[in-house]
Amino acid sequence: MKKIFWSMILVTASICAIAQKPLIGISTGYSASENTASVRYTYVDAVVNAGGIPVLLPLAKDSLAAAEAIERVDALILSGGEDVHPFYYGEEPASALGGVNVARDKSDRWLLQTAVKLDKAVLGICRGEQLTNVTFGGTLYQDIPSQYPNRPAVQHNQRFGGAEPVHHVNVAKDSRLYEIMQQEQLAVNSFHHQAIKEVAPDFKVVATAPDGVVEAIEGFPKYNILAVQWHPEYFAQQGDKQWIRLFEDLVLRANGNKPVIKQPNIRQPKIR
């Protein structure tokens, strides 16, 4: 009888220990032609290495589905992917615009809007940074090589694996990013041809490339959001303790969630 009792105690303790780990929702890509939702395993491993439980969030068909998903997780990672449709920031598509995915744009925006309303912690990565900026009223360079002033001096779309850095970014000391990383300069990877142009209201730039391209933004204290242009999950998957800290910060913010309803200033364009 004693053995059964202590076995039950151990099982209960194990369940409680698991339950204490926050659930980190990860937005996924969507292919209409293949009818699939997917995300690189780098995101999954990064969350696990930081002490969270990854939960993949497939395409939401409406705002209610997105809201129900976000209500059940403790934080949100907006993952990388296609270009954000320029209609969302009041521009016509440029000739150098890459592939877009309107269905995913809508889904990711619904996820982000609900996360903000419920004060859930958010980490935007690459496209996730750009979509965050646009959702809150900012704009983008649709194509850095053809639109960015004084042609970029560094390579923003590297031609080798993501586990290797390609250029440095300069980090503002008065930022949460600096508090996490404790460095004024970081070596990062880079896989983008779009970038932030006008920064959304209530957000601030906290990292830039040597050529001035915006590399990270924060919404603190109004919004519980940190977003970066590079892909830290590649480094975190490899067990790099420095980069795991970025995901540990998300886990920390997830554990401190309080359901405070906010009304974000979000632009709602018409998609033709």
Characterize 240-260 residue by residue with b for buried, 16 or more Cβ atoms within 10 angstroms of its Cβ, and e for exposed: beebbbbbbbbbbbbeebeee
Q: What kind and span of H or E run contains 106?
A: helix 102-117
Of 85, 126, 129, 218, the catalytic one is 126
For residue 272, what are the CA distances in angstroms to 18, 87, 269?
Answer: 46, 9, 9
| 25 Cβ neighbours under 8 A, 6+ residues apart | 55, 56, 57, 69, 70, 73, 75, 76, 77, 111
d(CA 234, CA 126): 12
Characterize 41-60 residue by residue with b for buried, 16 or more Cβ atoms within 10 angstroms of its Cβ, and e for exposed: ebbbbbbbbbbbebbebbbb
DSSP-based three-state secondary structure for 117: helix
| Residue 85 annotated in active site | no
DSSP-based three-state secondary structure for 34: coil
| Residue 233 annotated in active site | yes
Question: Looking at this protein, which amino acid is placed at residue 241?
Answer: K
DSSP 200-226: PTT-EEEEE-TT--EEEEE-TTTS-EE
Of 85, 167, 193, 231, the catalytic one is 231
Quick one: which of 85, 82, 81 has its CA closest to 43? 81
Of 129, 215, 218, 233, the catalytic one is 233
Residue 166 — φ and ψ, nearest 5°? -120, -25
Known catalytic residues? 126, 231, 233
